[in-house]
Amino acid sequence: MLIIQAGTPDFIPMMEETTARCEEWGYRYIRFGLDKTADLDGDMPPCTFKPGIIARGLKEAGPGDLCLWLDADAIPVQPLDELTYGLYDVVVTLREPQEIGRTNPITNYLNAGVIGIRCNDAGRAFVARWQQTTPACGNDQLALNRLVGGDWTDHYWRQAYNRDFPIALGAIVRILPAIRWNCWHFPPPVEADVKILHFKRGFRSLNGPDWWRRVLEAQNNGH
């Protein structure tokens, strides 16, 4: 598995935490630097650079490897080997059932903070189409939702957890529950089977710059 992240200098402490965990678990890790002009400000950053960085990361992955993007403020708290099994080409995370359809099209369904791409033809084709679609949508997450779900209804989304779907791009997509694989529900403790915690900007702003460290400590201690 190859883990990819990118962030401005203020995210370095969080990315270093992920680096250490990747070293412990035997995952390759690549970090790309972003300057202060990157579109990271605001409650809902467009992050239009993301598909392009993932495409660069895929060039460093071995054939068939899973290339896993984590936002700079997302930190794995348990090994992620489970993600490498299966025949899917793309892995995405879906919000909780009660959140589906209750906000706006960008945040209704999939969250782009955690996304896995297989280093194969289907995976690369998916990223290329995502990269083409994102400028027109003005947001990487909205483009991702349109590529995966198209015209799915809210009911169809709610039936999609832990299932594989062939999509028009020729890729097989696995849809995983965000509560386990891209969890931003706090305060701690979170459920014991959570794999990745996502410390979003709003939580950090409310609780202070070191708040995420306290969450990790509580998670590691099991309380």
CA-CA distance, 28 to 25, in Å (whole number)?
Answer: 9
The domains located in the chain, with CATH, are: 2-182 (3.90.550.10)
pTM: 0.91
pLDDT per position as a tens digit, 34-54: 876 555 555 556 688 899 999
Q: Is residue 135 reached through a cis peptide bond, with omega within 30 degrees of 0 on the bond before it?
A: no
pLDDT per position as a tens digit, 121-142: 999 999 999 999 999 888 899 9
Cα 92–chain centre separation: 7
* Percent of the chain clearing pLDDT 70 (strictly above): 85
